[in-house]
């Protein structure tokens, strides 16, 4: 049985809303149809970028079913099933099994579980559907809890279907220790049976240099071919080209994280007419006008500098 995640760049979806705050499935459909024609390796549904904490349980079910109908057999589909409650996470994983190729499971937020609690949480989800590959997601800046390398090793030795991690720690020393411990204390091979993905567009080159195999991307929502090529240069070992691409897109990446994600990327997708509105659900609010204009100008400058063959604007509403 294969639990492999394909190498490459994945896009984590942004959820469009109508003016009444309901999900804008018209815009979402156009986006998904477009992204399915790109070189992106996979699509992650219900990440934080999707504003998943503001979606109801029933909305999340509808969201996943809707996307699956469009993306099935076209892209590798990862569904974010993580939450603050293990019981609810397991429940949603059971539902999402029929509409996904893999799960992404976040370190539980707000509870600040001890390391032994994280082990039991991830084991419970992994054992829910033993045939489904699981990607763990470590993002201490959002969850206030950090999955330590030693804990990851324990999980890997007990859960064969945990085969990837999205690392958004921003901690290069912890990352090196994690990779070293996985290599020396498990039977996993870093490039085949266990893969590390960057959780930050700005860390692609650094993580790939250390043995990573791709990125879960936010900026890829508007630059899918560009991010795909940057990752491919890394996988080919051509870090000089990858580094040049990273430098070129760096101002845009900084721009889309100048405010809480996904506020800036949704603003851009609206300005570029990919989404009909830039509506957010509270407690998130749309980008302020002046900041939004600066971000758009940053995008224009990036667009002016890249090779003309890249498609960076997406579908039109």
Please count the helices (runs of H) and the strands (runs of E) in the chain. Answer: 12, 8
Confidence band, pLDDT 50/70/90 cuts, at residue 17: very high
Segment 25-77, tens digit of pLDDT: 999 999 999 999 999 999 999 999 999 999 999 999 999 999 999 999 999 99
Would residue 310 show up in a list of annotated catalytic residues for this protein? no
**What integer is the mean pLDDT of 188-197?**
80
**What integer is the mean pLDDT of 239-267?**
96
pLDDT of residue 308: 55
- Contact between 10 and 40 under an 8 Å Cβ cutoff? The reply is yes
Selecting among 75, 132, 166, 195, the annotated active-site residue is: 166
Would residue 99 show up in a list of annotated catalytic residues for this protein? no
Separation of alpha carbons 26 and 261, rounded Å: 22
Selecting among 137, 195, 266, 275, the annotated active-site residue is: 137
Q: What is the DSSP string of 241-276?
A: HHHHHHHHHHHHHHHHTSSSTTHHHHHHHHHTTSSS
pLDDT of residue 83: 85
Residue 72's alpha-carbon distances to 130, 164, 171, in angstroms, are 21, 21, 35
Question: Could you tell me the pTM of the whole model?
Answer: 0.94
Residue 300: closest CA among 276, 277, 272: 272
Hunting for tokens 């330590």 — which residue is that?
Answer: 148
């Amino acid at each position: 049985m294969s639990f492999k995640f394909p190498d490459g760049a994945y896009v984590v979806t942004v959820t469009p809303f109508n003016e009444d705050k309901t999900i804008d499935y018209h815009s979402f459909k156009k986006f998904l149809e477009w992204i399915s024609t790109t070189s992106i390796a996979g699509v992650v549904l219900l990440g934080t970028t999707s504003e998943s904490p503001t979606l109801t349980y029933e909305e999340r079910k509808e969201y996943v079913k809707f996307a699956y109908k469009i993306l099935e057999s076209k892209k590798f589909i990862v569904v974010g099933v993580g939450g603050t409650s293990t019981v609810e996470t397991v429940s949603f994983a059971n539902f999402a099994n029929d509409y996904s190729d893999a799960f992404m499971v976040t370190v539980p937020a707000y509870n600040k579980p001890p390391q032994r609690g994280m082990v039991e949480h991830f084991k419970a989800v992994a054992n829910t559907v033993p045939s489904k590959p699981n990607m763990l997601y470590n993002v201490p800046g959002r969850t206030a809890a950090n999955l330590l390398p030693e804990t990851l090793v324990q999980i890997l030795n007990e859960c064969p279907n945990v085969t990837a991690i999205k690392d958004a720690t921003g901690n290069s020393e912890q990352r090196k220790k994690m990779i070293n411990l996985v290599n020396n204390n498990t039977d996993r091979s870093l490039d085949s049976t266990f893969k590390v993905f960057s959780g930050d567009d700005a860390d692609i080159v650094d993580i790939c240099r250390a043995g990573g195999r791709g990125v879960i991307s936010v900026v890829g929502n508007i630059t899918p071919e560009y991010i795909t090529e940057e990752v491919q240069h890394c996988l080919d070992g051509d870090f000089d080209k990858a580094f040049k691409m990273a430098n070129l897109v760096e101002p845009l990446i900084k721009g889309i994280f100048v405010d809480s994600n996904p506020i800036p990327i949704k603003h851009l997708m609206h300005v570029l007419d990919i989404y009909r509105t830039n509506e957010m659900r509270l407690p998130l609010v749309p980008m302020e006008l002046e900041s939004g204009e600066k971000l758009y100008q940053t995008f224009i400058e990036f667009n002016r500098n890249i090779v003309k063959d890249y498609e960076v604007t997406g579908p039109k509403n």
